[in-house]
Amino acid sequence: MTAPTTVPASSADTFWADADRYLTRYAGAGGFTRKIIEHAEGSVLFTEDGEEILDFTSGQMSAILGHSHPEIVATVRRQVAHLDHLYSGMLSRPVVDLARRLAETLPAPLEKALLLTTGAESNEAAIRMAKLVTGKHEIVSFARSWHGMTNAAANATYSAGRKGYGPAVPGNFAIPVPNAYRPDFTTADGELDWRRQLDFGFELIDAQSVGSLAACIVEPILSAGGIIEPPAGYFAALHEKCRERGMLLILDEAQTGLCRTGNWYAFQRDGIVPDILTLSKTLGAGLPLAAVLTSAEIEQEAHDRGFLFFTTHVADPLVAAVGNTVLDVLARDRLDERAAELGGFLRRGLEAIAERHPVVGDIRGRGLLVGLELVLDRETKQGSDELGALVTRRCLELGLHMNIVQLPGMGGTFRIAPPLTATEEELSRGLAILDEAIGDATTRLG
């Protein structure tokens, strides 16, 4: 064994040889994008070779203010030199300020905040809290859900990652996804009959439950599941199903929270208030910051029962300061309104592409979280992972990074989520690349 060394930048061949030898692969069957990213600014990534790549995924759906936003950079530089990390039982002003300011953006009674690092961690804490408060253990989520890779979050995740890891935690159940484009329960007109589907889903839950239903955790828009937004009225009905059974409703707004959908929170469209709300990705604008928000009543009950979620980086001042800056920029620049306006611009551009390419089967989503589903035939709605992969590769060759829904059976669904700070010119450039890539891929497939 020798001491680690720092060496000058290696050749690209050596870089990839080192990556292949020393890095653990963590994305299932997917590999690393074979580009060495040197830096990023705004909506653009720059490779070591000088290529510019438009980022239509906001990093990992997180960089809502774009990359290297000058106010985020300034906050990090100032805060890391002043106060970066504390013992988990200590508090600092950025933490209390962020908790108060988050509460001020939310409807009553959501006012208690727990500041953490990742989405999985926030969902883990929310589920743990729900189990403790209700005294029950069963958890319900969507059949295409993604809530994270830690224990409770992974067991509430059904879109991927379940095979090969042994038995799941007992008491985890899935309900059908209300997908209007591919309805399973239909009305006489062939439309999605979501009420009948929801009733059926909970009939199955009731048949399997041992009488210990604690919570239902769902995304307002299923992102990794294919950008599927349940119809208006669905969440109010789901909330009532929970109430009838003494369950808490947890909404996971990792990707939809903080202005991306055109509202500060996606659940505002439905006129409901969850019992517990989780935020992550967008809250740190690319830095590891997450939050669990709930009512004073639920927090008090959890505390009385000895709620324990004591982590190394709970309530860290550095990322809390960043969160405060994120809220500053979102409010000052009215990025909720901007997301709604740019979302309309983006959707119109996608609709124009759909007119030119019959392989575009569906456009869905809200604000700057948009799904584009490719099909081989609009009548049969036959999907194609191969077509999606071809378009993805061609987009990257042309300078656009976009498709990150690469799960089996969903590889033809694009998740489009540029930064809220993107310009119309950048959106137009990305749309032009996508248009060309779809044309090239369909020609190749014949």
Rounded-to-integer distance, Cα 402 and Cα 350, Å = 14
Query: Going by C-beta distance under 8 Å and a sequence separation of 6 or more, which residues neighbour residue 65?
Result: 71, 72, 285, 286, 326, 329, 419, 420, 421
Enzyme catalytic residues: 146, 219, 252, 255, 281, 415
Other CB atoms closer than 10 Å to residue 163's CB: what's the count?
5
- Measured at the alpha carbon of residue 343, what is the angle toward residues 260 and 236, in degrees to the nearest 5? 55
Q: How far is CA 30 from CA 373, 401, 405, in A?
A: 20, 15, 11
Instruction: Report which of 138, 119, 90, 357 is spatially closest to residue 245, judged by C-alpha positions.
Output: 138
CB contact at 8 A, 416 and 56: yes
Rounded-to-integer distance, Cα 46 and Cα 54, Å = 9
216's enclosing H/E stretch is: strand 213-218
Rounded-to-integer distance, Cα 224 and Cα 175, Å = 16
Rounded-to-integer distance, Cα 260 and Cα 247, Å = 28
205's enclosing H/E stretch is: helix 194-208
Q: Could you tell me whether strands 37-41 and 52-55 are parallel, antiparallel, or unpaired per DSSP bridges?
A: unpaired
Q: How far is CA 1 from CA 4, 23, 105, 276, in A?
A: 9, 19, 53, 49
Query: Going by C-beta distance under 8 Å and a sequence separation of 6 or more, which residues neighbour residue 77?
Result: none
Q: Which residue has the tokens 């369950």?
A: 247
Query: Going by C-beta distance under 8 Å and a sequence separation of 6 or more, which residues neighbour residue 254?
Result: 61, 119, 122, 219, 223, 278, 279, 280, 281, 282, 290
DSSP string, 270-337: GT---SEEEE-HHHHBTBS-EEEEEEHHHHHHHHHTT-----TTTT-HHHHHHHHHHHHHHHHTTHHH
Q: Could you tell me whether strands 44-47 and 37-41 are parallel, antiparallel, or unpaired per DSSP bridges?
A: antiparallel
Cis geometry, peptide bond prior to residue 170 (ω within 30 degrees of 0): no
213's enclosing H/E stretch is: strand 213-218
